[in-house]
A = this chain, B = another copy of it.
Amino acid sequence: MLGDDFLRSSAQKSIIMNDSIEQLAKLFSRFPGIGERQSKRFVYFLLRQPESYIRELLASMTELRKRIRICESCFRHFESTKDSLCDICRNPKTDSSLLMVVEKDADFESIRRSGTYKGKYFILGGLVPIVEKSTPNNVRIEELKDTIESRAKDTILKEVIIALALTPHADHTDTYLKSELDKLKETYGFKISSLGRGLSTGTELEYSDNDTIKNAFKNRQ
């Protein structure tokens, strides 16, 4: 009869021996919103797929980096093999008197999809941590200042719109950006605004927090 020791050591061995699966699962587990279990399912999914799908996936991931570049002006990802500016920055019809600062590409896409805004964008690249004192590397604060300065010199920059989420982290970044841009604002005379606050689609007063009600009341119209 086989004892527990056999089972345990054998189970352990099996984990060691399948480490291609474990290794790839570990890499997948860094994907946003993916836990350990689902990352393992991804690996088994890939093992079941036809060779053609895997080839396409590998090619697509390899190509992504080659074809997608970051716009030198607004820092969003766009596809091009020759241009250094994205289609919005290049387009002469884009209203360059407006500059909207967003956190990331996905936020840009939401705003673009809404069809409301016709000006330029700037992808900040991250949020400013509440506790740390130093500015983090991934937030493009210096690049933002440079962009605003050169824009203000060249054209009539009327307004910088800070378009961030309504979370403590984003709220802190909003305040930080305003204080950082204050001097430029004085020098060049543009306006700094933030997205309006109040009731969002589906909000019911009965279940609203105090801040939402305060903002909705203050910004009534």
Other-chain contact of A166, B2, B18, B200, B221 (Cβ < 8 Å): B200
* Shortest CB distance A196–B (Å): 3
Residue of B47, B167, B212 near A77 (CB, 8 A) is B47
Q: A95-B2, A106-B44 are in contact. Are A199 and B197 (CB under 8 A)?
A: yes
Bound Cα distance from A18 to B27, whole angstroms = 25
Size category of the A interface is: 35 or more
Select A8's contact among B115, B210, B221, beta carbons within 8 Å.
B115
Quick check: B10 and A104 within 8 Å, CB to CB? no
The secondary-structure label for the interface of chain A is: helix
- CA gap between A117 and B27 in the complex, in Å: 30
Nearest residue, chain B, Cβ from A195: B216
Contact B13 A87 (CB under 8 A): yes
Stretch in contact with the other chain, from A35-43, A141-149, A150-158, A176-184 = A35-43
How far, in whole Å, are A27 and B213 apart by their CA atoms in the complex? 29
Contact A104 B64 (CB under 8 A): no
CA distance A218 to B215 in the complex (A): 15
